[in-house]
Amino acid sequence: MKEKVFNFAIIGCGVIAPNHAEGIVNTPNARLVAVADIVEEKAKSFAQKYNCDWYVDYKEMLDRPDIDIVNICTPSGLHPEMAIEAMKRGKHVITEKPMAITLEQADAMISASKEYNRKLACIFQRRTQSVFKKIKEVISQGAIGRLILGDAYMKYFRSQAYYDSGDWRGTWALDGGGALMNQGIHCIDLMQWIMGEVGSVFAYTRTLARKIEVEDTAVAVLEYKNGAIGVIEGTTSVVPGFDHRLEFHGVDGSILVDGERIARWEVPGVELKLEPEVTVGSTASDPRAVGYRGHMLLIQDMIDAIKNNRDPLIPGEEGKKALKIILAIYKSSKERREVYLDTM
């Protein structure tokens, strides 16, 4: 019996869309059949490159019965409406981060997934990297003992020209936030995934260098529910060349990640052995350097989830976690107080 080929469509043909397209065309039994963008020339050019149909009206594209899975690559504030419209029409959805810009929107997407019995997956491709899978594994097994500190330092560069390149960038309505919501969310997701749930935050956010509505610099102190504490520090305003640094400390050991490599591995009795994989470029100074491998793995996971009627690797409930932490940080800074996530 011939194996089913899954037909994909992409909404939004901007900076991140090629990662999705390459992930699709490099996946067995996957085919990119259509793309949509409100800018006709962008949609047409993208479709010509990938030999597929193009649309200006995404709803017209969603009416096609042959589309199985829709990848949403539009500005963040548009994700919820588009995801729900797709699921209403019987499509499974893979959405870029953040899945939404409010918790109410995220909940509506999760509810739609259940109501229409469609899969909803979120893109946090760093969870697929062997470095972070290994760290998650050894910490979950207790190899560094009781956790005491979990920190993320994210020193990124985004020029004013980057923010000026799209009228949605750096706005509350469509970007949903700045250095944390757009760039830092990947590392924040990793911290809560590896360290455990965050209980409370106390934070300061500022707009210090760029002419934007949202924050370009933020510092937060976290208390994890397991009793560990930590720091999140994020900015898009330092000179190019810095990167993110993640630290995990337990009473018996420590792990330090510098960029995409493990710089210190102090794990008693555990040798560092990683699965071979294609090197991932740093997005600290260039958002296009991410590569498509992580997207491809999450696309392949979605196909497998549909075939085997299971949840995708990062369902909506998981995608919501980093969003909630960031919104708590914004709330803490605005109200100048500690915010407990269970009250949100």
- In tens, the pLDDT along 292-322 reads 999 999 999 999 999 999 999 999 999 999 9
- The residues that bridge with 180 in the sheet, in sequence order, are none
Q: Which pLDDT belongs to residue 281?
A: 55
Residues 114 and 138 in one domain: no
pLDDT value at residue 107: 99
d(CA 95, CA 74): 9
Asked, for residue 109, whether it belongs to a domain, the answer is: yes
- Looking at the DSSP bridge assignments, the partners of residue 150 are 248
Report cis status (omega within 30 of 0) of the bond before 28. no
* C-alpha to C-alpha distance for 309 and 64, rounded to whole angstroms: 23
For the cut 60, the answer to whether the pLDDT of residue 183 exceeds it is: yes
Answer yes or no: is pLDDT of 1 > 90: no
pLDDT at 274: 84
Range of the domain at 145: 126-285+322-343
Residues 310 and 333 occupy one common structural domain: no
Cα–chain center distance at 245: 17
Give the CATH number, domain containing residue 85: 3.40.50.720
pLDDT in the model for residue 276: 74
Predicted confidence (pLDDT) at residue 286 exceeds the cutoff of 60: no
Span 324-343, pLDDT tens digits? 999 999 999 999 999 999 99
Residues 77 and 137 in one domain: no
Q: How many domains does the chain have?
A: 2
CB 319 within 8 A of CB 106: yes
pLDDT tens readout for residues 36-91: 999 999 999 999 999 999 999 999 999 999 999 999 999 999 999 999 999 999 99
Q: How far apart are CA 306 and CA 29, in angstroms?
A: 13
What's the rounded mean pLDDT across residues 192-206?
99
My answer on whether 206 and 327 are in the same domain is yes
- 98 and 12 fall within a common domain: yes
Tens digits of residue pLDDT in 234-258: 999 999 999 999 999 999 999 999 9
148 and 203 assigned to the same domain: yes
How far apart (Å, rounded) are the C-alpha atoms in residues 163 and 186?
Answer: 19
- Pair (65, 47) in one structural domain: yes
CATH number for position 200: 3.30.360.10
Instruction: State whether 158 and 93 are in the same domain.
Output: no
Q: Which residue has the tokens 């009416």?
A: 63
- Which residues have C-beta within 8 Å of that of residue 36, sequence separation ≥ 6? 9, 10, 11, 12, 13, 43, 54, 55, 56, 57, 58, 60, 61
List CB contacts of 339: < 8 A, sequence separation 6 or more.
Answer: 200, 201, 202, 328, 329, 331, 332
Which CA distances in Å does 36 have to 10, 53, 55, 76, 118? 6, 9, 5, 16, 21
pTM for the full predicted model: 0.95
Quote the CA–CA distance of 302 and 293 in Å, as a whole number. Answer: 14
Residue 227 lies in a domain: yes
Q: What's the whole-number mean pLDDT along residues 7-20?
A: 98
Residue 1 lies in a domain: no
| Domain shared by 79 and 217, yes or no | no
Residues 91 and 146 in one domain: no
CA distances from 266 to 53, 137, 244 (A): 52, 15, 19
Is the per-residue pLDDT at 278 higher than 80? no
Q: Does 267 lie in the same domain as 158?
A: yes
Residues 101 and 163 in one domain: no
pLDDT score, position 2: 80
pLDDT of residue 169: 96
